[in-house]
Chains A and B, each alone.
Chain A
């Protein structure tokens, strides 16, 4: 594992509207998002719950919710090519990790290789090698034959991360993946993610509503306002990773945290923002 290579994702004037629940007209959830992302990098997409950040994230991989047209208008370009439908270079990690209850940890991680797309690209021996390697990298080598029900939430999220990485994605889209985990486990997972990224540098777009998580992980943080989602702020963080407790107490970190919070308050967020500093 070395490098996912350079990759460019571009959002042009993205608008997303959904029909109102009462059937009276439409509701604009995302309004005119312009964003140029150059990978490999870790970009954090931060905003209050329900601000539409997951919707934006899904567009980047061409993941369409059932029965919905997304985006309503605007274009998503991956390396200059319009992205329509699932993009093979992009993989998502969800908060609901959806590990298969009927399969072992090993088979869950190797799941992509059951499908023709990856069978054609990766031969069986290489697939097996990648699965063993990813399983060891997330620290689950001794749990290879366990089933998801026998694992903790953190371990299950490791399985999901390993499954995403066996396909060697150039774009890794993470939708609040650690949101349901306890604080300690979450910080372990953040550390693991940074380690994995050092080994396989790709473009990670990471959605969170946790300010600390955003400044701990990101090379760049994009703050979204809500109702509808617009870009409220966009800045880079140059501090080296891993950024531990000590860094979080530095003036730089506190200032960044304050800066984000100010934006979120201005956005008159009706959703929730979590601060765990």
Chain B
């Protein structure tokens, strides 16, 4: 029971996970079904289900508000992720490969990790307006401050033996960075990107609070204004599921890209 290395077979693992989920939904059903808490505060699971169905298809406009909103949220996250990688990976590599670069940039990068990114939102609005650019920039800022230190650590985590060997067979310092450090750090850099995408999902509602006309954050925000708690829950649920799906998909991509990582 208390051996952290005890092997669990897949069915037991899934069973235990499912038990927790069912337990939560069960407790939730009980509390809301017996109206121990008012429906305005805690909608029942079936109310949330009904809200999901309601959001999934709008017969009047012949459209799916939920799919459109999810599509927009995904699109914003995709743009932010590309921008995060384009800036964050090179900067992180430079900081990881050169103590001088690190000493130069770390006073700018390291404090930002604990900075109140949400508080920066008004500044972004003044600089970039309240359109799409501001939303993507906000997601970018929230994620890039985590990605840079993680990429730096990924580079530093490459065992020194490989660098010594590269020098020995003729590599210059720069070649050792390009041909040794970066290739060997790729799996951990990829992990860092997965974490960055997860962080973007946590910020998506905030990004979409301001002047959005669509997006999952917009749905939640609108529902909240109308006190439609079931729709707020439905929106949160969809974000959770999408975040989980992107995470799973990215991990599968990682396995395919770096098969040597998982070999004994």
Contacts and interface: CB of A to CB of B under 8 A. Distances in A.
Nearest to A61: B168
A86 B165 CA distance: 11
Contacts of B175: 114-116
Nearest to A150: B263
A101 B179 contact: no
Interface residues of A, number: 26
Given A100-B162, A101-B260, A149-B264, A63 B169 contact: no
Contacts of A111: 166, 169
A102 interface: yes
B263 A117 contact: no
Contacts of A117: 170-172
A167 interface: yes
A18 interface: no
B170 A102 contact: no
B26 interface: no
Interface string A113-137: 0111110000000000000000000
Interface in A77-120: 86, 88, 91-92, 94, 96, 98, 100-102, 111-112, 114-118
B11 interface: no
B169 A94 contact: no
Contacts of A86: 167-168, 170
B131 interface: no
A127 B172 CA distance: 19
A91 B160 CA distance: 17
Q: Which of B160, B170, B258 has the most CB atoms of chain A within a 10 A radius of its CB? A: B170
A230 interface: no
B184 A100 contact: yes
A167 B258 contact: no
Interface in B154-179: 159-162, 164-172, 175, 179
Given A100-B184, A102-B183, A147-B263, A115 B172 contact: yes
Q: Which of A63, A96, A100 has the most CB atoms of chain B within a 10 A radius of its CB? A: A100
A220 interface: no
A18 to B, nearest CB: 18
B184 A102 contact: yes
Given A66-B160, A96-B161, A147-B263, A167 B168 contact: no
Given A102-B260, A115-B172, A63 B167 contact: yes
Interface of B: 159-162, 164-172, 175, 179-180, 183-184, 186, 258, 260-261, 263-264
